[in-house]
Chain A
Amino acid sequence: GAVVSQHPSRVICKSGTSVKIECRSLDFQATTMFWYRQFPKQSLMLMATSNEGSKATYEQGVEKDKFLINHASLTLSTLTVTSAHPEDSSFYICSARDRAQRGNTEAFFGQGTRLTVV
């Protein structure tokens, strides 16, 4: 299947700093990418939909000023956690769907980024 790559896979940062996570579609173009957050022993929670060339759409309760999303090209979306705090520590996962495929095709997920804020 198609490959979605996230970088970094793990990051530790100090409280108050910002962290950027990259999501790349390696062998396909994605008009839309999705960002999820997952806390231990919980399911994935959709945070936002990243749209190439336009503003991201955030799910209810997700602070757009804290979680900055940029989708500047058809193969790259970035999530920046600004002024990170320990409660932002989580597993962040992106997904993307090949824009060349029909509407019923599957999306592919990155391997995830483990963020620890100390």
Chain B
Amino acid sequence: DAKTTQPPSMDCAEGRAANLPCNHSTISGNEYVYWYRQIHSQGPQYIIHGLKNNETNEMASLIITEDRKSSTLILPHATLRDTAVYYCIVRGTSGTYKYIFGTGTRLKVLA
């Protein structure tokens, strides 16, 4: 599975949009981009995933560049409860479907 690169930490003001970038320059054609977050001492929570089109759900939006080498997770109106470590993972659709976690981005939402 492709390796991902994320900034180690980011701050965001409460109520503002949080934009979390992820580089996955070695992604292959059948690999999806998944985003999870982990709040302290809990298991990871699924947020969103996509292949090449932009995706939106009730939690976030996912913007994938046309060449698919990077993506951005957008939390439109960050709240204090969004403070967490956010993981970007690239995974294929065959084989064992295992996730390999990178170091993630520690997002801190400030009041």
Enumerate chain A interface residues (CB-CB to B < 8 A).
1, 4, 6, 32, 34, 36, 43-46, 49, 57, 91, 93, 95, 97, 102-104, 106-112, 114
Contacts and interface: CB of A to CB of B under 8 A. Distances in A.
Given A93-B43, A93-B44, A106 B98 contact: no
Nearest to A48: B98
A111 B42 contact: yes
Contacts, number: 60
A44 B92 CA distance: 19
Binding site of A, secondary structure by majority: helix, strand, loop or mixed? strand
A107 B99 contact: yes
Contacts of B98: 34, 46, 49
A103 B97 contact: yes
Given A43-B103, A44-B101, A45-B101, A109 B87 contact: no
Nearest to A1: B46
The 5 closest A-B pairs by CB, nearest first: A103-B93, A109-B43, A44-B101, A106-B46, A109-B44
